[in-house]
A and B are shown apart, each in its own frame.
Chain A
Amino acid sequence: MSEHLLSYMTFLPLLGMAILLLIPRENESLLKSFTLIVTLVTFFVSLPLAFNPVFTTDGGMHYTEFAKWITVGDFFQMNYSIGIDGISLWLVMLTTFIMPIAVLSTWQAVEKNVKGFMALLLLLETGMLGAFLSLDLFLFYIFWELMLIPMYFLIGIWGGKNRIYAAVKFFIYTAVGSLLMLVAILFLYYYARQAGVVMEGFSIVQFYQLPIPKEAQLWLFLAFAFSFAIKVPMFPLHTWLPDAHTEAPTAGSVILAAILLKMGTYGFVRFAIPLFPEALATCMPYLATLCVIGIIYGSLVAMVQTDVKKLVAYSSVAHLGFVMLGVFALNLQGLSGGLIQMVNHGISTGALFLIVGFLYERRHTREISEFGGLAKRMPIFTTIFMIITFSSIGLPGTNGFVGEFMALVGAFESNLRWYAVVATSGVILAAVYMLWMFQRVMFGELTNPKNAELKDLSLREIVIMVPLLVFVFWIGIYPNTFFSKMNPALETLIQQINGKQQVSMVQPIEAPRHVEFK
């Protein structure tokens, strides 16, 4: 079992989708329960990963699987090569954990074409897991693009009023980035071959060790970074995000916020940074500036939103700014803070979108001004909403605090100190926009008569939220469970980055002549 555990986990949803397509479309409850079961089984299949102690000691790849896939003479070779380490571990767990929750959240929200919706959710899960696990750049690219298609349809078919615009924008933004990355991948491959490396497919491990001349690094880094920065999204490439979020159905928003955005940050940690550390060093001031702008700008724009969902969407831009700032610190605190903040953002922003979904299902509006005084009608809802709000602000004791604190400490200790100083003001801004929104929605007088009859959370909705709350406190109070497993892998990564910088400082390697730019 454990030998092919990752493959089972990755393709189980795909298999589920194939079976799902055979279920008649009228039988909606069966379709929903079946999808739920598939995602739950996937989660249970992935559980042994979280309990495996090997991640606490060994920062390398585990559960690796390798098979030759496409070999065309001496042209190239592509392999099915997957594995997991402390960096991808928690993101994979987050994915399998969030999926059942997302499915449960659709129980009443999705009415039209349930079958298509569920099939796309399952396809999406396979795409996401595959992208986190790929150890071959080509394979990664395929899974990366595979995620695009279901998300496009999820937004475009089940989204709100302005869904077509949002779906097309989401698709084109993401595809433009990934196509440029494709050229970079190709270049890297041929560069490696011309440098005399016998490539085992598009193996990342081999690319890590490849010394790349500085000029080429810059271009390649820009191509990768552009693609990932769109996905994160970093300022100024973030404009697709609010559109996509506001228009996407709740489950779509949850997945988008909780997992898909992590693809961008994960891409930086796994590919862009270790492959091109020198180029990163060159671009660092600009990237860090963009992070800080993202934090401040995202917070300020969130503050003036009148739509709760848009507010949460802009808060994502700010939160991911913290993640990226921590990652760019390139020290253990920063990287682990950034990584844990990715998980945190998945949990708390995912939860926020669910909460917005609950409100929307009850009132079919998300305008802040439509609400007010809900606390009196919905005590359970209020409690949960408040905890999640605190987690999103980063109150000590909740997960958000740990992540933001570590990321900022990391940035302080690196040469990004002054950026961190400015970024810290984002924490205050977060408190402003979140608490203000919370106050306007939940407290005060119950003025709008439409809100007088609102029902508190149902059992299903509580069941959805409880697991998220557990992790809010678990990570907030005892984050070591998570850090202990990611740190060895991050130490390996840091060694790799430093080692590579030193090697190329000692002997700059010339590019072979005919890979010059024409």
Chain B
Amino acid sequence: MENLVQAALATVNYASIMPSLILSGFGMLLLLIGVFSKPGRTSHIAWISLIGLIVAAVVSVQAWSALSVTGIEFGFTNQVAQDGFALFFNFIFLISAALTILMSDDYLKREGYAVGEYYALILFTTAGAMWMASATDMMTMFLGLEVLSISLYVLAGFFRRDPRSNEAGLKYFLLGAFSTGFLLYGMALLYGVVGTTNIADLGMYLAAHKVMLSNPMTIAGMLLLLTGFLFKIAIVPFHMWTPDVYEGAPTPITAFMSAGPKAAAIAGLMRFLILGFGSLQDEWTSLFWVLAVLTMTVGNLIALSQTNIKRMLAYSSIAHAGYAMVGIVAANAIGLSGVLYYMLAYAFMNIGAFAVLALAGKQGEENLTLEGFAGFGYKRPFLGVAMCVFLFSLMGLPPTAGFAGKFYVFAGAVEAGYIWLAVIGVLNSALSLYYYLRIMVSMYFREPTEDFAWVSMPLGAMICIILAIAGVIYLGVVPQQVMEMAKTAIF
């Protein structure tokens, strides 16, 4: 026993988890600061949490540039690997968290829930997401998933006097706990098959023992494990929770959930699929082909009939996960790096759109409907134009990030020969035009019924929106550099 501990201690490599370590540290610090702050005063906590994110980002950037020199940082008996893949996703998480925090402060004050723990929870979620992206072992993966999920359960139900928020928190918790059970059960079965929890070892074992591939325990293990991930990503038919949770949760949290944690689950899924189940690729590509088509189509079709904009974006977020799945089905270099690129692009455009919503809402957010948005573009020209940029990007029109992202995943699908999948994908984009256009129609083509005088332009939210616009335009016009990064990031 002692030897095991020693062995474990010998392979501790803090460098391999440094960004998440920093975030956890800052998170605990924030909890302390929160205790000693006056109730209702949280701005300083928000800014400190941002500093934490920036420090983590700096460390990640350094780790990225050191990657080519020192190679991948392994740690904790190979349970964690800080490779390009993990670092690229780190950037996505950090950007999502930073944009979310920037828009949160005034929003929380308006809604009457200025509580410091909120920011600590976002940092913990981000740390959990980082562990998921860098996990090379089922146990680390599970640990990351739990840290992420539990923080999110609290955040989704953060407005404790609002029944919808309570519903969101509870629903997410119950279904999430269930899906985690599935995931864990799948892991247990797989451990039973291969005798290791290491994902790469799992892959090598399955490649070496082809006979095990048809073993029911392997198949069942894989399916259960995938179920857990698909739930988190909200892939049809595991998407039922999404609209209610997204609609009920505080708007910044909805934005965050649809970008950061979703990307984390996709990261985990990709590592499992490529490294763990590489020898079952034929099977899971046909599975994901169907899932991608279902997800895109169902998400878009239901979004068509929504009049609540928050709920509409929730369904559209399901559809966007479907587009990302197209890249996974392609499973070639361009498709997979396209998924990474897409998630980054999605973080900018979706959080940007939610930031505009967060500003436009009255207390209680009853007015975030197509009717309530009438004439918004005239009364608030800057926010209107910003919303248009995000919507055009979500539609996938050039020259925006959304177009570049879709272009890469569909290019991957075409290169791999999945022409029909690409065709279904673009037809789905065409379908999505309609409901995104409806938002623009009510913003610009209808006469204003309200003066939107309550809409303030706090500094944090402005920075958030401007950064998001910059990201959308940059990723759309000069995608080269980031795409090169994504390309080196995949396995």
Contact = CB atoms under 8 A, between A and B. Distances in A.
Interface of A: 70-73, 75-76, 113, 141-142, 145-146, 148-149, 152-153, 156-157, 163-164, 167-168, 171-172, 175-176, 179-180, 182-183, 186-187, 189-190, 514-518
Contact of B430 (A172, A514, A517): A172
A142 B399 contact: yes
B418 interface: yes
Interface stretch (B167-175, B253-261, B409-417): B409-417
A180 B426 contact: yes
Contact of A141 (B333, B398, B414): B398
B479 interface: yes
A149 B414 CA distance: 27
Given A142-B398, A163-B445, A70 B417 contact: no
B470 interface: no
Contacts of B429: 179
B441 A168 contact: yes
Contacts of B333: 75
Nearest to A513: B417
Most chain A CB within 10 A, of B334, B415, B434, B487, is at B415
Contacts of A148: 397
B417 A516 contact: yes
Contacts of B483: 70, 72, 75
B433 A175 contact: yes
A172 B434 contact: yes
Contact of B445 (A167, A514, A517): A167
A71 B480 contact: yes
Given A182-B426, A186-B410, A73 B487 contact: yes
Contacts of B423: 180, 183
Contacts of A183: 410, 414, 419, 422-423, 426
Given A168-B434, A172-B434, A157 B444 contact: yes
B441 A156 contact: yes
Given A186-B410, A190-B414, A70 B480 contact: yes
Ranked 7 nearest A-B pairs via Cβ:
A179-B426, A186-B414, A142-B398, A176-B430, A72-B483, A156-B445, A190-B415
A75 B334 contact: yes
A70 B445 contact: no
Contacts of B395: 175
Contacts of B111: none
B484 interface: yes
Contacts of B484: 72-73
Contacts of A153: 444
Contacts of A70: 478-480, 483
20 contacts: A75-B334, A75-B483, A141-B398, A146-B398, A149-B392, A149-B397, A152-B437, A156-B441, A156-B444, A156-B445, A168-B434, A180-B426, A183-B422, A186-B407, A186-B411, A186-B414, A190-B411, A190-B415, A518-B418, A518-B421
A189 to B, nearest CB: 8
A176 B427 contact: yes
Nearest to B479: A70
Nearest to A159: B445
A76 B333 CA distance: 12
B302 to A, nearest CB: 18
A175 B334 contact: no
A167 B430 CA distance: 15
Contacts of A113: 378
Contacts of A168: 434, 437, 441
B454 interface: no
Most chain B CB within 10 A, of A152, A164, A186, A514, is at A186
A491 B410 CA distance: 37
Contact of B437 (A141, A171, A180, A518): A171
A72 B444 contact: no
Interface string B52-85: 0000000000000000000000000000000000
B36 interface: no
Given A72-B483, A171-B437, 4 more contacts: A75-B408, A145-B398, A146-B399, A190-B414
Contacts of B392: 149
Contact of B420 (A75, A190, A515, A518): A518
Given A186-B411, A190-B415, A164 B433 contact: no
Contacts of A518: 417-421
Nearest to A115: B381
B419 A164 contact: no
Interface string B375-396: 0001000000000000010010
A145 to B, nearest CB: 5
A72 B412 CA distance: 13
A205 B420 CA distance: 27
Nearest to B429: A179
Contacts of A517: 417, 419-420
Nearest to B425: A183
A186 B422 contact: yes
Contacts of A179: 426-427, 429-430
Contacts of A514: 416-417
B227 to A, nearest CB: 26
Interface in B351-392: 378, 392
Contacts of B444: 153, 156-157
Contacts of B398: 141-142, 145-146
A75 B419 contact: no
A187 B415 CA distance: 7
A164 B415 CA distance: 39
Most chain B CB within 10 A, of A71, A157, A175, A514, is at A175
A511 to B, nearest CB: 11
